Chain A
Amino acid sequence: MSEPSNFILTSDFATLKNDAKDTLSVTLPSTLNIPANSAVTYSDIKAFGTNGASSRVRLMSTKDNDWHTLPYNEYLYNTGATVSGGSVGYSIYVAVSRVSSTEFQLKVYLANPYGATMSITSLSQTITAVVSSFIPPFI
């Protein structure tokens, strides 16, 4: 038995190993019309990292300019869309996921749950995810 915080390095406790890093980005158009009851997706996929690794992520939208650290997903809820002439809010869902044993994906969803076309203006932005994978002690 030992107190972990008393040691800089100790072979008594498992630790984490750095793995790989890369940057993913998606650019949204200025205007977008989403048909009724449907979703539009944008994605960027890159091959990096060891399967089984976890990751730390930094996410930013150029409309926000704050780097949100850690979140593997974000809802960016905004006012400013219209459905049948009426104003509605809309969500941009951003997710950083491993989609295969070799690839990470940044995926951006915009969904229209309404029964008519949803029109969004002033949507233009680039969403960027900086991903660093690290290997937990199981591998």
Chain B
Amino acid sequence: MPAIVSNAKNFLLSSDYPLDKVVYLKEDTYTATIGFTSYTVAHGLPFTPLPKAVWSTTSDWSITYNISDGVPSSTPVSEIYSLQAAGVSSDATNIYVTFLNTNPSTQVYLRIWAFEPADSVADISGTASLGDSFALNTDNNYTKLYMAGVTASSSVPNSTAAVVHGLGYYPEVEVWYVRNGYTYNLTGTQTIDNVPFHDTAIVTPTTLTMWRDGFITTPEYFHYRIYLDELS
């Protein structure tokens, strides 16, 4: 009997849909000096992973920031943030977290994880022992992956790649864009008079549409992960 998608999203986990498998984990500290700097760590994987990260300015993680989030500036006219994690990206060797800091050197704390791309087939070491106490625990509700893939490449600015998920509701989605050998987690975007200007992902109850940058003409494509879990 095929899985009924609308029921599967209500389960803590379901053997009909794969759990996310985190293939890389790293917790570390970094001194963000003034200006644009990058934390760099070798991932040791036989593919370019899809990175994610959170960070904090305190070791107790009392405020956890996402990537593209940061410490609010006292002068928002000139700058939104005084310290911002501008992006997380990867290449065949490293994972990078980029910071923009207008303060003197600031100690930051990082938690980085990554997924295997959908077009990769590789044997790798497990990560369960690096994470929390239980690999699976029925006290928790786990994110359930519905679709994952890679779009075609294009060098046409503002061109789109669409994936029909057909779920009938707004699903949780993760997107990364790839340019010049680097894979970037999509965490921010811009529009001009409502038209996407930079890389953008737009979701409807049926379709995920990914927009390429509006000005860059180098080839660009996307990795995407669509979950059964509803973002509503």
Contact = CB atoms under 8 A, between A and B. Distances in A.
Interface of A: 1-5, 7-18, 21, 37-39, 41, 51-56, 58, 61, 63-64, 66-79, 93, 95-101, 109, 111-113, 130, 132, 134-139
Nearest to B136: A11
B170 A67 contact: yes
Contact of A1 (B65, B77, B125, B143): B125
A54 B201 CA distance: 18
Interface string B106-141: 000001010010101111111110111001100011
A106 to B, nearest CB: 12
A101 B16 CA distance: 35
B23 to A, nearest CB: 6
A5 B175 CA distance: 18
A68 B27 contact: no
Given A12-B127, A37-B77, 9 more contacts: A4-B23, A5-B18, A8-B16, A18-B140, A21-B232, A71-B186, A101-B62, A130-B232, A135-B140
A15 B125 contact: no
Contacts of A17: 140-143
A68 B187 CA distance: 10
A45 to B, nearest CB: 13
19 contacts: A3-B121, A3-B123, A8-B15, A11-B128, A11-B135, A13-B135, A15-B19, A16-B20, A16-B142, A17-B141, A17-B143, A21-B232, A51-B61, A51-B62, A58-B203, A67-B204, A68-B189, A98-B64, A136-B113
B61 A78 contact: no
A122 to B, nearest CB: 12
B181 interface: no
Given A66-B202, A67-B203, A54 B52 contact: yes
Contacts of A38: 77
A53 B64 contact: yes
A137 B188 contact: no
B128 A71 contact: no
Interface in B123-167: 123-128, 130-132, 135-136, 140-143
B80 A74 contact: no
Contact of B191 (A4, A13, A74): A74
A4 B65 CA distance: 29
Interface residues on B, range: 35 or more
B192 interface: yes
B186 A70 contact: yes
A73 B20 CA distance: 25
B27 A13 contact: no
A137 B23 CA distance: 11
A73 B120 CA distance: 30
A54 B66 contact: yes
A103 to B, nearest CB: 10
Nearest to B186: A70
Chain B CB within 10 A, most for which of A5, A13, A96, A135: A13
Interface in B43-86: 52, 54, 61-69, 76-78, 80
